[in-house]
Amino acid sequence: MTTELIRVLIADDHPIVRQGLEILINSQSDMILIGQATNGNEAVMLIKESKPDVVVMDLKMPVKNGLSAIEEIKKSELEIPILVLTSFPDDEMVISAIQLGANGVMLKDSPPEQLLNSIRDVVHGQSPLHPSVAHKLMLKIQQSAALATVNTLLTVREIDVLKCMAQGLSNREIALRLAISTRTVTTHVRNILDKLELENRTQAALYAVEHRIV
């Protein structure tokens, strides 16, 4: 029985990367490269024309970047899985790509077999993530949860005061900035520490920075 080949399209502006992927993909008995794009515009056009089984997409490309291409593809009627291939796991674009619907993220320095298995995985409905990307995503989720907790526990004015604390402002400086009395600021600071179960304003400032409240 003949196994149907996985039809792969790649989008990357670096010729060496495209050539390497071409050799790697075409060396597999279950895959075939059907197209190459050098920017997001070409990627969208080729995807609509050839309807591949999977797209291996770089994020930083000229004319139209990978994020814009992913957004356009996901808004279309084409249900084509996209595997992001990037050199920058810490870039905020990676999280944005996942939020826009990318089905997996791998790094360009991943072992060849790991990359090939990731292509197979997204075709079969799985969502492979490189460990460094998974870690970043976990931190993002934790930060979002912490921010949601802050928004639930603190009033709008208390959040304003917390932001000022994170900037190192004294109670008097906070009072001047927010046009409230120093006594009111003192009350807000005490409430913030109590609600967030923190010992002092230094811990509150660190909390605000770590959870990206500022």
The pTM of this model reads 0.68
Whether the Cβ atoms of residue 43 and residue 55 lie closer than 8 Å to each other: yes
3-state secondary structure of 180: coil
| Domain 6-132: top CATH class | alpha beta
Could you tell me which CATH number the domain at 154-210 has? 1.10.10.10
pLDDT of residue 38: 97
Tell me: the pLDDT tens digits for 7-60?
999 999 999 999 999 999 999 999 999 999 999 999 999 999 999 999 999 999
**Range in 78-82, 145-149, 209-213 with the lowest mean pLDDT:** 145-149
Helix H or strand E segment including 60? none
Distance CA 18, CA 36 (A): 7
Spell out the domain ranges in the chain.
6-132, 154-210
| Backbone phi and psi for residue 147, each to the nearest 5 degrees, phi listed first | -65, -40
Q: What percent of the chain has pLDDT over 70?
A: 94
Select from 190, 208, 186 the least CA-distant residue to 199: 190
Select from 94, 102, 95, 112 the least CA-distant residue to 21: 112
Tell me: the pLDDT tens digits for 75-100?
888 889 999 999 987 778 888 998 89
Start-to-end Cα distance in the chain: 60
Helix axis angle for 131-153 and 92-100, nearest 10°, is 80
Q: What percent of the chain has pLDDT over 90?
A: 65
3-state secondary structure of 83: strand
pLDDT of residue 145: 64
| Tokens representing residue 61 in the block | 């490309």
Burial of 17 (0-12, 13-18, 19+ CB in 10 A): middle
| Tokens representing residue 123 in the block | 């075709």
On average, the pLDDT of the chain sits at: 90
Distance CA 197, CA 203 (A): 10
Whether the Cβ atoms of residue 46 and residue 35 lie closer than 8 Å to each other: yes
Phi-psi domain of 51 (left: phi exceeds 0; alpha: psi -120 through 50; beta: other):
left
